[in-house]
């Protein structure tokens, strides 16, 4: 009886070893496709939205036709550079599909004839991801003093 139990355990042990050896060598076969290399520009796809107002931030003061220029400084973002849009009849604007890396700098300039140009910058906010762009920006233009 002891001999039969020993044989059974030996056979189970050998089968387990063969299974483990098969699993081990199976995972060590090199893949014919190259391995994925981490992207050095990890970031987030964001959209920057806002409303341009004239004078005061109140309903009815939305400014249509303001030129909004977004400048993105980045060492790796595919959307780096300058983009431009115009505010709609409700003063709203949007830059969609903006890839934002935590070391990027974004500043926005808003211009409209007869008003002082206004700038908005992410650097003082310490933006590390899209949280800086969750709420629409409220950009206020003041009448130019030389008018």
Q: Do the beta carbons of residue 137 and residue 68 sit within 8 Å?
A: no
Q: What percent of the chain has pLDDT over 70?
A: 67
pLDDT tier at 39, thresholds 50, 70, 90: low
Within 10 Å of residue 93's Cβ, how many Cβ atoms?
A: 24
What domains can you pick out in the chain, each with its CATH number? Answer: 43-141 (2.60.40.10)
CA-angle at 101, arms to 137 and 108, nearest 5°: 30
pLDDT tier at 110, thresholds 50, 70, 90: very high
The pLDDT assigned to 27 comes to 45
d(CA 93, CA 108) in angstroms, rounded, equals 12
Average pLDDT over all residues of the chain: 78
Concatenated DSSP letters for the chain?
Answer: -HHHHHHHHHHHHHHHHHHHHHHHHHHTSPPSSPPPPPPS--EEEEEEEEEEEESSSSTT-B-TT-EEEEEEE-SS-TT-EEEEEE--TTSEEEEEEEEEETT-EEEEEEE-TTB--EEEESGGGT--SGGGGSSPEEEEE-B-TT-
Q: Is the pTM for the entire model greater than 0.75?
A: no
């Amino acid at each position: 009886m002891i001999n039969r139990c020993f044989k059974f355990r030996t056979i189970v042990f050998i089968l387990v070893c063969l299974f483990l050896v098969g699993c081990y060598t199976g995972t060590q076969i090199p893949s014919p496709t190259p391995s994925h290399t981490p992207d050095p520009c990890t970031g987030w796809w964001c959209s920057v939205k806002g409303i341009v107002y004239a004078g005061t931030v109140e309903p009815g003061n939305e400014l249509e036709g303001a030129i909004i220029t977004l400048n993105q400084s980045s060492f790796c973002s595919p959307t780096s550079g300058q983009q431009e849009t115009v505010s709609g009849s409700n003063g709203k604007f949007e830059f969609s599909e903006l890839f934002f890396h935590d070391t990027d700098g974004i500043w926005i300039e808003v211009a409209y004839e007869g008003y002082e140009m206004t700038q908005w910058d992410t650097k003082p906010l310490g933006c590390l991801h899209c949280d800086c762009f969750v709420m629409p920006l409220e950009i206020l233009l003041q009448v130019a003093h030389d008018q």
